[in-house]
Each structure stands twice: as C-alpha cells, then as structure tokens.
Amino acid sequence: MEGKNWNVIYSPSAFINDFPGIQIGIERKIKKFAVELEAAYLSNVFDIEQEFVNQRGFRDGYRIKLGVKYKLYDAMSINIIGFYRKTYHDEIETFSMFSGAYFQEIEFSREKSLIGPTLGCTYYKKIWKNISIELGGSTGIGRITVTQSGIPEYAEELESFDNRGTLLDGFDNPGVFQYPIISGQAKIKYNF
C-alpha cells in the first residue's frame, strides 16, 4: 500500500462468486492502516451456470463489505471485514392444499440476509504505475435470516425443507441461523 492515499477498487472475482455480480469500492490509506468500502449488485444475469441458478431461484440482491486492514509487510496485510448480503429468490414448490384435498404448485418469494465479521489476509502487488492487484481470503461466522412470502396459511409443503443447507446455497426454512462466511477475492486497484 504505497503511494497516494486513495484507491478505486474493481473486483472481477465477484463474477465467480456463488451470488455473482458487479463489485466496486473505495479505499483510504492512513499510515499502516486502510479502510475499504465495497458494494456489489448481484444478479443471476451474471451467472455462467444459468440453469442451476433457475433451479434454486436466485434472482438478485446486493452485498456490502466494510473492512479495516493493517499492513504487516510491504505486500501483506491482515484484515477484519464486516459483511452484509441480501438476496431475493423466486421459488416454485408443490404444496398440499387444505390437508391433502388437492395439490398445487405455488410461486412464492424468499429473502435471505447474511451479516457477520470475517478475519483474513491479503497480498498486494503493484503491476503498473498507479495500478495494483490484491489477492486475499477471509473466513468468519455470520447470521443468516430467511423469510418468505406468498404461501397461503392452509398450504403444506410436500418435502420438508432442509435447514442444514450448503455453503453454496444457504438455508431455505424461515428463521435465523448461524452460517459460515468464506470469502476469496481478486481486486484491481487504481491509486490516486
């Protein structure tokens, strides 16, 4: 983190994220510290595996990251990042209506909000004049809140939702759960 005090950030690794999107940010350096704020618009439009996206119903959302870095060496920093992600999902499931009187597919919406801290490290390399790259990773534990709307009270879902989820998909049942946060990043920074 040498040179001037501000960086504009573009994160191409956001395209290969489980919830892909366009992510940009800004960083302010103060001596051995740096404060970084990034925001991303997430959309299934950016997902290479479009068919898989349609199965799980991910539509769009946003992600915000606020981090503080401490420079250990010329090219390495440790960081603490506050992470928030909200995603919107369109789902279609088969429900039993009125205690099994008939079955019906119902379209409904699901929202997932994830918040939590991560701890990690980054490697920084100047590649040309005011341009540098940063590679890093972090991990932490967060809280995911799942809500859904559009399901009538008299509808019963046929297959029970699985609250264990996966690292890639998250939880589907409404509620609040602990959830691992794993983040890898590749960033291009313009120093000014």
Secondary structure of 13-36 in HEC code, one letter for each residue: HHHHCCCCEEEEEEEEEECCEEEE
User: What's the predicted TM-score (pTM) here?
Assistant: 0.84
More confident residue, 1 or 96: 96
Buried b (16+ CB within 10 A) or exposed e, 78-110: ebebbbebbbbbbbebebeeeeeeeeeeeebeb
Domains of the chain in sequence order? 6-191 (2.40.160)
pLDDT tens-digit series, residues 98-136: 988 999 999 999 999 999 999 999 999 999 999 999 999
* Whether residue 161 has pLDDT greater than 70: no
- Mean of all residue pLDDT scores within the chain: 88
* Whether residue 68 has pLDDT greater than 90: yes
**Span 144-165, mean pLDDT?**
77
